[in-house]
Amino acid sequence: MKTKLKLLTLCILVLFSCNSSKNMLPNDTDSPMTENPTDNTAQLTYLALGDSYTIGEGVSDTGRYPSQLVTALNAETGKSWASPKVIAQTGWTVDELDRGINRADIERNIYDLVTLSIGVNNQYRGLPISKFETEFENMLLRAISFAAVNTTHVVVLSIPDWGVTPFATQSGRDIGKVAEEIDAYNRLKAKICEKHQVAYIDITAQYRSLGSQPDMLAADGLHPSAEMYSLWTEKLFEHLKTMDF
């Protein structure tokens, strides 16, 4: 009798396990690239690394550029993209992003696309640019590793000039000095990207011409609005739309 009861219990557990597996949904934001290269139904994956400009401080999740970019790719390319995995936080410097990646525990994951937008908080805090040079190159190499060392699937965004915003004016900061420092940071980023054959997209010039307009700003008068992010999305999409993913 005990033997029959044990067998019945085992059958029930096996049946429950099978049904549960069928009903489980994948976590799109954490999904690595499919392990089966012949599975054409798998969604493409995107890792967005950065700071407040990536997390979209002051806008909805759908308004930030990683989400807008996936929406555009799904609508226009005929490919299916999962929701972006975003590792970013307002105020992060390069080393803080590095620690954030460690906490996210994604070292074994590979992504079809990786974007990197970082550096403004290094400049804002007045940290040595020589320190940034080393840290940014290491971070770029880490981003490349998440793209399976395919440098064509990594894109770096330049640092926008927050000095044009109402927040900067009210803060009493030397706006000319802010612009000079951001230019220096961006030249360094562009040089390192060229060294590693990674695409570098300049959003700074456009931001300087439009970034002070009310409709281009979030409510805090510092961070971009969804409308501004849509302009960044256009630049990213134009670069990516012809790529073979």
- What the block records as the tokens of 70 is 């996936």
Task: Using pLDDT thresholds of 50, 70 and 90, give the confidence band for residue 41.
Answer: low
Q: Which residue has the tokens 């460690």?
A: 102
Distance, in Å, from the CA atom of 33 to the CA atom of 19, rounded to the nearest integer, reads 25
SS3 content of the chain, % helix, strand, coil (to 5): 55, 10, 35
Pair type for strands 85-88 and 199-201? unpaired
User: 47 near 114, Cβ under 8 Å?
Assistant: yes
pLDDT (tens digit per residue) in 163-186: 999 999 999 999 999 999 999 999
Residue 242: what are its φ and ψ, rounded to 5°? -95, 0
Q: Which residues fall within 8 angstroms of residue 231, CB to CB, at 6 or more apart?
A: 203, 206, 210
CATH superfamily of 45-240: SGNH hydrolase (3.40.50.1110)
User: 129 near 210, Cβ under 8 Å?
Assistant: no
**What pLDDT was estimated at residue 244?**
87
- What the block records as the tokens of 127 is 């940290």
pLDDT (tens digit per residue) in 59-80: 999 999 999 999 999 999 999 9
State the pTM of this model: 0.83
Distance, in Å, from the CA atom of 228 to the CA atom of 216, rounded to the nearest integer, reads 5
Which one is predicted more confidently, 174 or 14? 174
Residue 30 has pLDDT above 60, yes or no: no
pLDDT (tens digit per residue) in 79-100: 999 999 999 999 999 999 999 9
Residue 221 has pLDDT above 80, yes or no: yes
Residue 2 has pLDDT above 60, yes or no: no
pLDDT (tens digit per residue) in 142-170: 999 999 999 999 999 999 999 999 999 99
User: 38 near 115, Cβ under 8 Å?
Assistant: no
